[in-house]
Structure 1
Amino acid sequence: MHPLKRNRPLRRIVLASAATVSGMVLLLSLKPHTAPASVAAGTRSPAVSGSSVPSGGAAPSRGSADAGPGTPSGPRSVTGDTVQTRWGPVRVRVTVEGGRLTDVTAVAYPQGNPHDQEINSYALPALRREALTAQSADIDMVSGATYTSTGYRQSLQSALDSAAR
């Protein structure tokens, strides 16, 4: 029998397996072209975009307070420090009324690409819930959003410190 006409089932199995694995790797490495829905309610688009802040710490801009209407026990909004993270700035605004945290809003957060938007669409509402429940910056971090969670906690703490003054 001629050597080229001999059945080689093992060779075919190996080649078919290699082709299948290669195809799966290529398929899984594709990125979707559509951007996910915008971040859920309770967050706003960033007020600080393109800030030139050194990486790895709190930004030089300090928190600012907006006195609310009425007496000192009335609602008071305070914006925390801008914290520069690896993926972009994070800044939080809190509303304090009668010594209680009544609202937390992310005013700046990473959203430069669809991956950032996807992460923040679930991370920011979870961080907001945690902060309102804990009534402090001692909140759990969100898995998969470590840098955003760290920046959120730091900005939240600076806002709460400013509100206490």
Structure 2
Amino acid sequence: MEKQRDAKTVRKPGKAWTVKTWLTHWIENVAPLAVKDNTMVGYRVAVRKHLIPGLGAHRLDRLKPEHIEVFYANNMQANGSKPGTAHQVHRTFRTALNEAVRRGHLGKNPVQLAKAPKTGGTRWSPTAFMRSSGCSRPLTSTATPLAGPLPSPSDCAKGRCWG
């Protein structure tokens, strides 16, 4: 008990919460009081579609960062979820478990220790646009793609690119 106290992992007395019971309680009773409707829509999707099916059976006080990372890799990425979706699920889960810590149901938030999924964002590049539009002409050093409207694929085919 002293080790648990020192590690801040002592939980409240009574039956242990599962991830499913905590998330259900949080999404129905706690989160609606603190956030706007649009945020609640995102929270509900993350909780009901991803978190409860993937991690709901775990006991809240025994959830480890490794469980969460395996969930991201095996459940989210393997099922074809976009990186942004996985990151939104991560943020929602972190918020929900932060509240569990504040209320004494959990000693530490394992989501904060888990590696967040990469968002996979890519920057727009004129060269990539040109290739995707079918243009075979390279961009010259004097090209100014942001100075005017983007050329259409037919413009590139007719040689009216930025080069």
TM-score normalized with structure 1 length: 0.24
Q: Which has the higher strand share?
A: 1
Q: Which has the higher helix share?
A: 2
TM-score normalized with structure 2 length: 0.25
Larger radius of gyration: 1
